[in-house]
Amino acid sequence: QVHLVQSGTEVKKPGASVKVSCRASGYTFTADYIHWLRQAPGQGPDWMGSINPDTGGTNSAQKFRGRVSMTTDTSITTAYLELSRLRSDDTAVYYCARGRVYGGSPLFDFWGQGTLVPVSS
Amino acid sequence: QSVLTQPPSVSGAPGQRVTVSCAGRSSNIGEGYDVHWYQQLPGQAPKLLIYGNNNRPSGVPDRFSGSKSGTSASLAITGLQAEDEADYYCQSYDSGLSGSVFGTGTKVTVL
């Protein structure tokens, strides 16, 4: 079955960068987009962006453009999210999820377990 | 910031029916994009509950159902059970933002 396994907690200071990994298994990695989402404490999920593992093409939410980088290594079926110039309000649990499209709207059918990134001086 | 609006909380006794609303706008639900629903238990990742407005993934009980009309959607839980106590989020696509958007979230409490 489909599994997405993420890297562990990363404690960061303001201004630093963080890189989170997401290893996929149980399906053809290049067949579906990988999406990145985050959830701040007490808030709902917030979509950050997506990557097509087959082409490497990316699309990100406007609020993150210039600070976010999404990549994949198809040889090890792993996706990466890097977020730079971290601020305290970037404190959140970061998730990867497999994406499909239904009725014109992307959906996220399998999620990683989440990676906690606290940002504090 | 959440683009889709949900009530903060709903509650019901075991066996009752509850509904969770999701209000959107003309650039997302009203433009025809499908709505999906997720259930999030404490300390866990969200889980896909309903996709394409009213379809259940394999393994989701038929107590859960969805509907969509105009610029809004709703999730219904019939025969409420203690294990249904969780946070529920709606999600769709917004053409103005060119990305996926989520609801503000609703906490369902079983009395």
Question: What residues in B contact A64, CB-CB < 8 Å?
Answer: none
Name the residue among A61, A105, A113 with its Cβ closest to that of B33.
A105
CA distance B57 to A14: 40
Name the residue among A95, A104, A112 with its Cβ closest to that of B93.
A104
Q: Do A111 and B46 touch (CB under 8 A)?
A: yes
Residue B29's closest chain A neighbor by CA?
A: A105
CA distance B60 to B80: 14
Element (H, E) at A48: strand A46-51
Residue whose C-alpha is closest to residue A49's, from A106, A91, A7, A93: A106
Q: What is the pLDDT of residue B105?
A: 97
User: What does the pLDDT look like over B6-60, one tens digit per residue?
Assistant: 999 999 999 999 999 999 999 999 999 999 999 999 999 999 999 999 999 999 9
Residue B98's closest chain A neighbor by CA?
A: A61
| Whether the Cβ atoms of residue A3 and residue A24 lie closer than 8 Å to each other | yes
Q: Do A44 and B102 touch (CB under 8 A)?
A: yes
CA distance B87 to B75: 12
Q: How confident is the model at residue B2 (pLDDT cuts 50, 70, 90)?
A: confident
Question: Mean per-residue pLDDT for B78-91?
Answer: 97
Residue A103's closest chain B neighbor by CA?
A: B34
DSSP helix/strand/coil, B10: strand
Contacts of A50 (CB under 8 A, 6+ apart): A33, A34, A35, A36, A58, A59, A60, A70, A99, A106
Q: How confident is the model at residue B1 (pLDDT cuts 50, 70, 90)?
A: low
| Whether the Cβ atoms of residue B94 and residue B53 lie closer than 8 Å to each other | no
Alpha-carbon distances, residue A21 vs A72, A82, A97 (angstroms): 9, 9, 12
Angle at B90 between CA B21 and CA A18, to 5 degrees: 145
User: What does the pLDDT look like over A41-72, one tens digit per residue?
Assistant: 999 999 999 999 999 999 999 999 999 999 99
- The pLDDT of residue B66 is above 70: yes
| Whether the Cβ atoms of residue A90 and residue A117 lie closer than 8 Å to each other | yes
Q: What is the pLDDT of residue B36?
A: 98
CB atoms within 10 A of CB B41: 13
Q: Do B45 and A113 touch (CB under 8 A)?
A: yes
Name the residue among B45, B52, B89 with its Cβ closest to that of A103.
B52
Residue A113's closest chain B neighbor by CA?
A: B45
Cα torsion angle, A96, A100, A101, A102, sign: negative
Q: What is the pLDDT along chain A (121 residues), one digit of tens a residue?
A: 999 999 999 999 999 999 999 999 999 999 999 999 999 999 999 999 999 999 999 999 999 999 999 999 999 999 999 999 999 999 999 999 999 988 899 999 999 999 999 999 9
SS (H, E, C) B29-61: HHHCCCCEEEEECCCCCCEEEEECCCECCCCCC
| Whether the Cβ atoms of residue A14 and residue A91 lie closer than 8 Å to each other | no
Question: What residues in A contact B48, CB-CB < 8 Å?
Answer: 107-109
- The pLDDT of residue B3 is above 90: no
